[in-house]
Amino acid sequence: MSTPQEYWDACLIRTWRQSGSVLDAMMMFKSITKIQMEDVEPKLLRIPKDGFPWKTGVKVFIASHLSKISNRLWDQPPEKDVALLKKLKDSKYDTEKDTIHDTALITERSKTYKNKKKMELLSKKISERNSTTDWSTMKTPRRGVYR
């Protein structure tokens, strides 16, 4: 490996295998190259955008922003990581170009939202129904109870 991009890709994959965070991958990159990610010219591909929480797991970051790499890592054993690095060497695949439109996820979220609204309306109806009843009726004391 000779370029910073290759080092960054290797750090991402190794941290993914170890179930680390994005911060772990960044620290590994800095320890190997002795330079900050922001100082690399030309700019690195496949890095988190500004404002991304660093303590997020690498698996979450890769799954949400680099879905093709995520699928490869899940499908292949660790021995195939070198082949993946060779493919990424010439690739221009980046986080900005990766957009996921998961229609199943969107429909599930809308169903959950609708169900939540239905439950709120139902509980409101029940509370209104119960407010019209006379719950203040008291039973008389039993016989034989001495005061």
Task: Count H helices and E strands in the chain, helices first.
Answer: 6, 0
* Domain ranges, ordered by start, for the chain: 4-89
Cα–Cα distance for residue pair 114/118, rounded to 1 Å: 6
Indicate the pTM of the whole model: 0.64
Please tell me the distance from the alpha carbon of residue 37 to that of residue 132, in angstroms, as a whole number. Answer: 66
Q: What are the structure tokens assigned to 123, written together?
A: 């509980």
Residue partners of 32: CB distance under 8 A and separation at least 6: 7, 11
Q: Which of 2-6, 15-19, 64-68, 124-128 reaches the highest mean pLDDT?
A: 15-19
> What pLDDT is stored for residue 5 in this prediction?
92
Mean pLDDT of the chain: 83
Residue 141 CB burial class (10 angstroms; 0-12, 13-18, ≥19)? exposed
